[in-house]
């Protein structure tokens, strides 16, 4: 059987469909070459991992180790976000996270895979890796979300160790805050959640999100990060999104779900992130007082990022390059 390129070379001209348009061989071969180049370009966009803030750089490194050996995106995002969870110098995630107003470090996390499975823990204490507990909730229970003491009990029953997560440095900051500040969640900039999205070589996408939440929050307060569709959302037909910043603002617009639905309806990841931020700006008049940032990834490996205020950064790893990039912002 003669292939398309051969056929075109042999005939010199080809009739397109029933409407009788003709194109020269060279034009068609050029188009075909462009198509091939585009496909190759798209292939190079995958595997990919994107995550929020500069602690995304070492987190991406860990995720990439999984992706590079044909590992699953789900394992990549879990391994990735465990890095800042364990780092006492990252004061917004896991161990070393800043406490609530009463001095307790309470953690929120969620994870979602390419099949739409998801798991989450909220307001869990004394467990260094809430993301791995969230994964076990997903894999071992008929539920999606466990909170507080129930989440802790589940973690301990599954072999996790109880640990003190309040470091000396975090405690000192809290004591200083208690002396000097009035609680104002709007003005608090002590937040740097890690949200991570990855596509593996099999072209499946997964996501993870983990945080100690807003510093000095009310005890028991839960943000967007463990809420599927707010802090993070994945749909393997479309792509994924994750959020950072003031959780209350993100929950109000179901931010990550909104971005994925916008991409489903044809928006690019960048356009979708910008529209989600515009939604916050339209409906929340105090938007200048707080930060929200989104990252998004579509199934082709194209990414987007956008925030209300400037200063939001994200880390992108693909083609053997792990880069810290500045997000565009509304203000
Ligand atoms: C929250 N979204 O608990 C989290 C906090 C945070 O970057 O992002 N920070 O509201």
- Per DSSP, the three-state class of 22 is strand
270 contacts 305 by C-beta, under 8 angstroms: yes
Distance from residue 214's CA to the centre of ligand 1 (Å): 6
Q: Are 213 and 247 in contact (CB under 8 A)?
A: yes
Spatial distance between the Cα atoms of 91 and 170, rounded to a whole number of angstroms: 7
CA of 260 to the centre of ligand 1 (A): 19
Per-residue pLDDT of the chain (331 residues; tens, 9 = 90+): 334 433 333 333 333 333 333 333 334 333 433 343 344 444 589 999 999 999 999 999 999 999 999 999 999 999 999 999 999 898 899 988 999 999 999 999 999 999 999 999 999 999 999 999 999 999 999 999 999 999 999 999 999 999 999 999 999 999 999 998 765 654 445 558 999 999 999 999 999 999 999 999 999 999 999 999 999 999 999 999 999 999 999 999 999 999 999 999 999 999 999 999 999 999 999 999 999 999 999 999 999 999 999 999 999 999 989 999 999 999 9
In 3-state terms, what secondary structure has residue 263?
helix
Return the axis-axis angle of helices 130-140 and 73-86, rounded to nearest 10°: 150
- Is there a contact between 198 and 79 (Cβ–Cβ < 8 Å)? no
Q: Which atom of ligand 1 is nearest to the CA of 246?
A: 10
Sign of the CA dihedral running 249, 253, 257, 263: negative
- Which atom from ligand 1 is nearest to the alpha carbon of 243? 2
- 33 is an active site residue: no
Best residue among 92, 222, 231, 247 to mutate for probing ligand 1's pocket (most ligand atoms within 8 Å of CB) is: 247
Interstrand relation of 303-307 and 328-329 (parallel, antiparallel or unpaired): parallel
CA distance 73 to 200: 5
Q: Which domains does the chain have, with CATH numbers?
A: 4-39 (no CATH), 41-329 (3.60.20.30)
Catalogue the E-assigned strands of 212-312.
232-235, 239-245, 292-298, 303-307
Ligand 1 site, residue 224, Cβ cutoff 6 A: yes
Q: Which two tokens stand for residue 50?
A: 């994107």
- At a CB cut-off of 8 Å and minimum separation 6, what does 261 contact? none
Alpha carbons 229 and 242: distance in angstroms, whole number: 9
């Amino acid at each position: 059987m003669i292939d398309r390129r051969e056929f075109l070379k042999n005939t010199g001209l080809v009739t397109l469909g029933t409407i009788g348009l003709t194109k020269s061989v060279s034009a068609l071969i050029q188009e075909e070459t462009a198509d091939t180049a585009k496909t190759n370009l798209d292939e190079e966009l995958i595997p990919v991992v994107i995550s929020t803030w500069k602690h995304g750089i070492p987190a991406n490194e860990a995720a990439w180790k999984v992706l590079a050996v044909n590992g699953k995106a789900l394992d990549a995002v879990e391994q990735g976000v465990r890095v800042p969870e364990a780092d006492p110098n990252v004061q917004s995630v896991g161990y070393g996270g800043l406490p609530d107003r009463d001095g307790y470090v309470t953690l929120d996390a969620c994870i979602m895979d390419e099949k739409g499975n998801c798991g989450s823990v909220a307001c869990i204490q004394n467990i260094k890796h809430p993301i791995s507990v969230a994964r076990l909730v997903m894999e071992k229970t008929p539920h999606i979300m466990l909170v507080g003491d129930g989440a802790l009990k589940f973690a301990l029953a599954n072999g996790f160790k109880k640990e003190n997560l309040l470091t000396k440095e975090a405690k000192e900051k809290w004591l200083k805050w208690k002396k000097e500040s009035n609680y104002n969640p709007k003005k608090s900039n002590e937040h740097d959640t890690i949200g991570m999205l990855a596509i593996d070589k099999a072209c499946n996408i997964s996501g993870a999100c983990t945080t100690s939440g807003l510093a000095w929050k009310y005890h028991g307060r839960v943000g967007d990060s463990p809420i599927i569709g707010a802090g993070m959302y994945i749909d393997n037909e479309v792509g994924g999104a994750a959020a950072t910043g003031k959780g209350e603002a993100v929950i109000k617009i179901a931010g990550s779900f909104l971005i994925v639905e916008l991409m489903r309806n044809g928006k690019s990841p960048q356009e979708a992130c910008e529209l989600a931020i515009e939604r916050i700006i339209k409906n929340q008049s105090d938007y200048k007082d707080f930060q929200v940032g989104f990252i998004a990834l579509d199934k082709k490996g194209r990414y987007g990022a956008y925030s209300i205020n400037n200063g939001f950064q994200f880390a992108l790893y693909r083609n053997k390059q792990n880069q810290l990039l500045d997000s565009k912002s509304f203000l």
